[in-house]
Every structure is written in structure tokens, then in C-alpha cells.
Amino acid sequence: MKIAMSVMALTFAATLAAGGACADEMLSGEQIRETLSGNTVSGSMTEFGPYTEYYAPDGTVKSHSQSGTWKIEDDSVCFTFSGNDAGCWHVGMDGDMLQWFQDGELLGSGKVEKGNPEGL
């Protein structure tokens, strides 16, 4: 498992280094809602490393280590974890990879899985 996470993190870092910081399509607020609501995203963030999060339709977000809330504001998704604002993110799609942007900078990516396969 640790090897798989390390490989995922290295692949993500290589993508950034290769100039993969441009999404094929930036999503609107409604497209973000349709993509996330009721689904799970697993990937890697530059600051936090590997993650898996389930985005419940009621606005809760759950991972293996924390839970919080998510909501759509204009064309971004905003998070709160443990009562603390975790910022708003623009979301793009590059092929089948979801990409997380703040201030125009690609800071993470992941694959969307239908439903809640990990029971978060």
C-alpha cells in the first residue's frame, strides 16, 4: 500500500514537472456538483499527499481521517474541516483526471469513482 501511494505521489509530481498544470476543461459550479455529489475522489495533493474523499449529496465530505462540509460557490467548491475554512478550489478535468486549482495553480488531482466504494 505504501509503495502504491509513493508511486501515485511520484506520478503526480512528474505530471506537474512535465507541465501538466492545464486542464482540458474547467468545470462550472453545476458541473462540479454533478461530478462530486454522491461520489468518491482518490488522488494526491501537493501539500497533503494521497487522499480519498467521499462527497455526500447532503454537503458532507468524509475521508479516512477527517470529515467536513463542501458547498458550491460560483464556479468553485469550498470546504470546511473541523470547523476551519479549508478554502475554495476551482476544478478541472484532464481526460479522466479531476484537477484541483487555487489561484490558477494546479495543487492536486484524482480519479472520480461512482458512489462510496470505501464506505466512508
Fold held by 2-114: Lipocalin (2.40.128)
State pLDDT tens for residues 35-77: 999 999 999 999 989 999 999 999 999 999 999 999 999 999 9
Please tell me the predicted confidence (pLDDT) of residue 21. 54
State pLDDT tens for residues 94-118: 999 999 999 999 999 999 999 999 9
Please tell me the predicted confidence (pLDDT) of residue 75. 97
Q: If DSSP states are collapsed to H, E and C, what string results for 104-119?
A: CEEEEEEEEEECCCCC
Q: pTM for this one?
A: 0.80
Q: Partners of 40 in the beta sheet?
A: 54, 113
Residue 11 DSSP SS3: helix
28 burial via Cβ count (<10 Å: 0-12, 13-18, 19+): middle
Contact assessment for residue 27 and residue 112, using Cβ atoms and an 8 Å cutoff: no
Grid cell for residue 113: 469513482
State pLDDT tens for residues 4-27: 444 344 344 444 433 445 678 999
